Structure 1
Amino acid sequence: MGHAPLARGGNAGSAPARRRPRLLGRFLALAAAASLLAACSAEPTTTGSASASAEPTALRIGVVSLSDSDALDPAKATTTGGYILSRQLFDTLTEYGTDGAWKPELAASVTPGDTAKTWTVVLNDAKWSDGRTVSADDVVATVKRWFSKKLPPSGSLPFIDPDKVVATDAKTVTFTLKYPTVTFPEAFASPTMAIVPSDFDPTKPVGSGPFVLASNDPGVQVTFTANPDYFAGKAGVEQLEVKSFPDSASAASALTADQIDVDASLDPSLVDTVKGVDGYQVFDYSTSGSLTWVMNTKKKPFDDPVVRQALRLSVDRQQLIDQVYNGYGKLGNDIFNPFDPMYNASLPQRTYDPDAAKKLLTDAGYTLPVKVELVGTNNQPTSERQNEALVEQAKAAGFDIEYKFVDSATFYGDAYGTYPLSLSYWGFLGIFDQAAFTVTKTAPYNSSHWTNPEFDKLFDEAVQTVDDTKRKELVARMQTIEYDSGAYIVPLFMSTVVGMSAKVTGAQAYPNSDGAFGYNFRILSLQG
């Protein structure tokens, strides 16, 4: 599932930067939180365990965290809350399934013509939540809306000609593309690509999704009721409540105090504590998601590819997995996406080599240590610890990194894209979509400002190449360019870790989709 940066919006000057504690301090703080969590969970109270409480009237999901900038318009969704809203209220034509591959969702079928320049989409029998039938005209109107209003989806669909998206009957849409594109189905899996009615009003969202919006307290809680007419079958619960928590420790405490049924963003460091409380379980699976460091090629020193390579050698990836993620992660190699069959696995695994990093810097004429400003926010439970780990690891490699923490609204506000070095949450996109969102010449979220004409040329050729073998060769060359001179450090791929009451059933892995279960909360049920 493709997604834009989290929590874009807000005023860049709304919160002062502040120095965060070092890595050891954070580990001690989490250890203390875990001890407190275990102690509190052991207290005999009327709501202290899942088995002791009455059957809740709703499935209660805890996340870190909702935002007052969560968009009810799926095309403008850039936050965790925005994606959650989109997945509950709307449908996309396609989605990434439990095997990591795309499959039809609102579409019953998505089929190419002879050259992949023409694609035909046939819709399922679906209804909007106001009772009207979802039609091909709605799909056409949705796509035209993206382009006429210059909404983010339009920037990642360079092959779409909105004037050649035509409803050929009530359920069939024909797309005649600007050029053949074999990745057409994947491009429509992102929650930002959700289909909306032709008369869509984002202040009163009508969708075709598994739930209907009941109430919304921005940044605090969103409540949904099941859509009884959902085309794929009614959701597993009648009501759904999504509650916001300021940090992972408070969400985990709420879980074991029976205030929520699912902790959708469980910090890996708290897994053993949750497992130790009777009546609770942990569900985890590998994903293509990553907290990646973004080096701004318009800012010194990262305008120099030598410095970018040196910083990549300054990251102890295995230590991050072991210490920050409690083992819940897989090694990354500065390219996306290991679940994509086009992934270039032949590139040498980059390892921690501080001596080589220092040599690169000194040979290039830099005086050590090279000073760098790193800006970050809480876009994942592990974000701060990962940033603090880099500060410590990079010292031995000749870098002096000053870490500044800002709130998410500030981070993704007007200053986004100006930081010399920052940590963003990316992944859950096929290789072509990831490139289209972040590094091609038309990318809407290129916060690194990295561009490469040869990369763009290969990208344009690859997306038009129908032959799998030839396309894989082109993608391998694209990813070699990124590996050698790109602006992203992809240190690891995170596992999704979810804490749940033992009463929750239906959990499934969505390895190529953002968030717990890809935010497909419709699959979950509660047992008494």
Structure 2
Amino acid sequence: MREDLPAAAPDPAVPSPDPSAPSAGPAVPSPLRRRGFLIGASGAAALGALALAGCGSGGGSEDASDGDQGPPRRGGRLRAAFAGGGANETLDPHMAGLFSDVARAKALYDKLADFGDDLTPRPRLAAKWEPNKALDRWTVTLRKAAFHNGRPVTAADVLFSYRRIADPKKAFRSKADLDPIDLKASRAVDKATVEFRLKRPTAEFPDILAAFGAYIVPEGTESFTKPVGSGPFRLVSFSPGKSTVLRRFDDYWDGAPYLDELEFVAADEESARINALLGGQVEYAHELSPTTARAHERGGQVRIVRLKNSAMQAFAMKTDRPPFDDKRVREAFFLIADRAELVRGALSGAGEIGNDLFGKGYAYYAKDLPQRAQDLDRARHLLKQAGAENLKVTLDTSDVAAGFTEAAGIFRDQAARAGVRITVKNHNPDSYWSDILDSGTLCSYRSGAMPIETHISQRLLTGSTTNATKWRHKDFDALYQQAQSTADRDERAALYGRMQRRLHAEGGFLVWGFADWIVGTAKNIRGVARNAPANSLDWARFDKVWLA
């Protein structure tokens, strides 16, 4: 995932840190490429993800036309091709920084909760959670589950895992998500009950239980050479940058997987992954481009899975400095954008238009706001009012993410029609996310899936560490804190709606689209869900898939 958005601050332990998700890491020799599966492939690498249906997840299933009729079958090995990370690959779930790492972590371990299709938390190892009246103390009851060594998962394991994640000596990606928890004061009530004490009221505390990387490991774990988790698969072998073999865990609390074995195979190049899929060397190919998807989805050899609303595509305007400290200029830029043209040109049509808000399709999204459309006359009028006629702006971008440079060029041409001259400046992908956090005035930006309240807390509050738009307003902060202190969900939704209306009118994110993430599967794969965005429970999940 050389992507876009973690749920935490950039992490120096991860190659090419960014504001949102795990990174694809540096290029390494690919076993598949060495075996010569490059011939005849086409398309550039993009970001993608697989959604695999699971019990109780709320995920959808394939269309009936995909041949998903009949009961699941047990047995066989599924081989999944991911971009490798060489020596950077890890079995430590708290250090997962690559797509392949995250997929392995989901197979080997469990979290207390994970996100459903609408990015609301769904119980996993936690059977239930209950707050006190003040919302600053939450009681979590664990379900009956066992680690691979047969030992039950207990409250002590949960507290050990969270304290390990939050250790300031470690560069764990999810430590920012755990910040509201007072881990020193939190305690195990009994073996199956954890009392989390918080530093402040937190109505959306269950989102923390589902946070990126917040996996539970046995108390006292220090080495991951022979990892013990509570996930649906057990480790057989691990060769970083080459192959990982896992075997079904028959005593998995959510039911034993249908597959006997699961193998992750490293294949850096998209062409290697699609050719391995076409040639029958793997049954699943992660990260396919729109070009490759179009070339193969009607051919009948493979199935193409598109996950909608998986990545917000935007331009970020720094609201604390000229020219974007004037909200009239920001509104003018909102009106300059032809969003449909940006989706067609930068995403090859593999996505849908945005409306200057994060989280389309997620819980609390302000879908009642009118869709903004291009209006160059109004944009020119606003620029004139702001004294910004003949405005010149530098747009920072990079090939760090698919579509960035294409979108920058398209928007430059759109702005020219409103009398704005944009100079596009390309940055080194390895330093792009740190470069644009504090410097410049306008940049290409994107974010992977996370709850809307998490996006607000990490990107839009005065103290947010990844506040790329420098949106700092005490009254806005107060609305967020009011929402977190409000137990009634409808009342919270109304508060989030107020915040989003303000961001839609004068915020710093020009959200022009939402990209699909795309993968390919063999025709004999069953149990595939199509509704789950990347970073949700059913993405890259293999315990409920089977071979027909």
> Structure 1 length normalisation: TM-score?
0.80
Q: Work out whether 1:97 is the aligned partner of 2:116.
A: yes
Amino acid at match of 1:363: Q
Q: 2:229 aligns with which of 174, 192, 207?
A: 207
> Using the alignment, how far apart are the partners of 2:415 and 2:203 within structure 1?
41
Q: 2:460 aligns with which of 439, 442, 450?
A: 439
Label 1:184 to 1:192 Cα distance change in 2 as closer, same or farther (>3 A).
Answer: same
Label 1:95 to 1:334 Cα distance change in 2 as closer, same or farther (>3 A).
Answer: same
Match of 1:310 in 2: 332
Q: Work out whether 1:3 is the aligned partner of 2:7.
A: yes
Show the 5 A alignment for 1:69-148: 69=88, 72-98=91-117, 101-148=120-167
Match of 2:493 in 1: 472
Name the stretch that deviates more: 447-456 or 197-206.
197-206
Show the 5 A alignment for 1:231-310: 231-246=253-268, 248-297=270-319, 301-310=323-332
> Using the alignment, how far apart are the partners of 2:319 and 2:86 within structure 1?
30
Q: 2:176 aligns with which of 150, 155, 167?
A: 155
Contact 1:91 1:209 in 2 (8 A): yes
Q: 2:388 aligns with which of 349, 356, 366?
A: 366
Contact 1:210 1:234 in 2 (8 A): yes
Match of 1:503 in 2: 524
Larger helix proportion, structure 1 or 2? 1
* 1:400 Cα deviation after fit: 1.5
Name the stretch that deviates more: 429-438 or 224-233.
224-233
Q: Any idea what the Cα deviations from partners look like across 1:401-420, whole Å, max 9, x if unmatched?
A: 3141533x433467765454
> Using the alignment, how far apart are the partners of 1:363 and 1:71 within structure 2?
55
Label 1:91 to 1:274 Cα distance change in 2 as closer, same or farther (>3 A).
Answer: same
Contact 1:316 1:352 in 2 (8 A): yes
Contact 1:158 1:442 in 2 (8 A): no
Label 1:247 to 1:377 Cα distance change in 2 as closer, same or farther (>3 A).
Answer: farther
> Using the alignment, how far apart are the partners of 1:65 and 1:293 within structure 2?
30
Contact 2:201 2:484 in 1 (8 A): yes
Show the 5 A alignment for 1:44-63: 58-63=77-82
Q: Any idea what the Cα deviations from partners look like across 1:230-259, whole Å, max 9, x if unmatched?
A: 322223323333345555455334322333
* 1:332 Cα deviation after fit: 1.6
Match of 1:449 in 2: 470
* 1:460 Cα deviation after fit: 0.4
Overall identity of the aligned pairs, in %: 27
Contact 1:497 1:516 in 2 (8 A): no
Three-state SS of the structure 2 residue aligned to 1:461 is helix
Match of 2:208 in 1: 187
Q: Any idea what the Cα deviations from partners look like across 1:478-527, whole Å, max 9, x if unmatched?
A: 11232233222222223343321101111113535427942212222223
Contact 1:268 1:325 in 2 (8 A): yes
> Using the alignment, how far apart are the partners of 1:254 and 1:6 within structure 2?
33
> Using the alignment, how far apart are the partners of 2:389 and 2:301 within structure 1?
57
| Large movers: runs of 4+ above 6 Å | none
Contact 2:332 2:378 in 1 (8 A): yes
Contact 1:269 1:325 in 2 (8 A): no
Contact 1:394 1:401 in 2 (8 A): no
Q: Any idea what the Cα deviations from partners look like across 1:163-188, whole Å, max 9, x if unmatched?
A: 33211111111223334433121222
Label 1:482 to 1:148 Cα distance change in 2 as closer, same or farther (>3 A).
Answer: same
Q: 1:338 aligns with which of 360, 375, 379?
A: 360
Show the 5 A alignment for 1:219-230: 222-230=244-252
> Using the alignment, how far apart are the partners of 2:480 and 2:511 within structure 1?
20
Contact 2:335 2:374 in 1 (8 A): yes
> Using the alignment, how far apart are the partners of 2:86 and 2:433 within structure 1?
12
* 1:321 Cα deviation after fit: 3.0
Q: Any idea what the Cα deviations from partners look like across 1:143-171, whole Å, max 9, x if unmatched?
A: 23344427553433453222332111111
Label 1:129 to 1:181 Cα distance change in 2 as closer, same or farther (>3 A).
Answer: same
Label 1:324 to 1:10 Cα distance change in 2 as closer, same or farther (>3 A).
Answer: closer
Amino acid at match of 1:344: A
Contact 2:84 2:268 in 1 (8 A): yes
Three-state SS of the structure 2 residue aligned to 1:497 is strand
Match of 2:372 in 1: 350
Amino acid at match of 1:88: A
Match of 1:19 in 2: none
* 1:136 Cα deviation after fit: 0.4
Aligned length: 487
Amino acid at match of 1:3: A
* 1:342 Cα deviation after fit: 2.1
Label 1:74 to 1:306 Cα distance change in 2 as closer, same or farther (>3 A).
Answer: farther
> Using the alignment, how far apart are the partners of 1:110 and 1:433 within structure 2?
19
Label 1:246 to 1:366 Cα distance change in 2 as closer, same or farther (>3 A).
Answer: farther
Match of 2:28 in 1: none
Label 1:4 to 1:215 Cα distance change in 2 as closer, same or farther (>3 A).
Answer: farther
> Using the alignment, how far apart are the partners of 1:293 and 1:202 within structure 2?
42
Match of 1:401 in 2: 423
> Using the alignment, how far apart are the partners of 1:220 and 1:515 within structure 2?
26
Match of 1:25 in 2: none
Contact 1:165 1:176 in 2 (8 A): yes
Name the stretch that deviates more: 161-170 or 513-522.
513-522
Amino acid at match of 2:360: P
> Using the alignment, how far apart are the partners of 2:237 and 2:428 within structure 1?
29
Q: Any idea what the Cα deviations from partners look like across 1:65-120, whole Å, max 9, x if unmatched?
A: 75765554444444434432332232111112356542101112223344543322
Stretches of structure 1 lacking an aligned partner (at least 5 in a row): 13-30, 36-55
Q: Any idea what the Cα deviations from partners look like across 1:367-399, whole Å, max 9, x if unmatched?
A: 5352313222344x4445444433443333413
Three-state SS of the structure 2 residue aligned to 1:232 is coil
Label 1:312 to 1:414 Cα distance change in 2 as closer, same or farther (>3 A).
Answer: closer
Contact 2:397 2:426 in 1 (8 A): yes
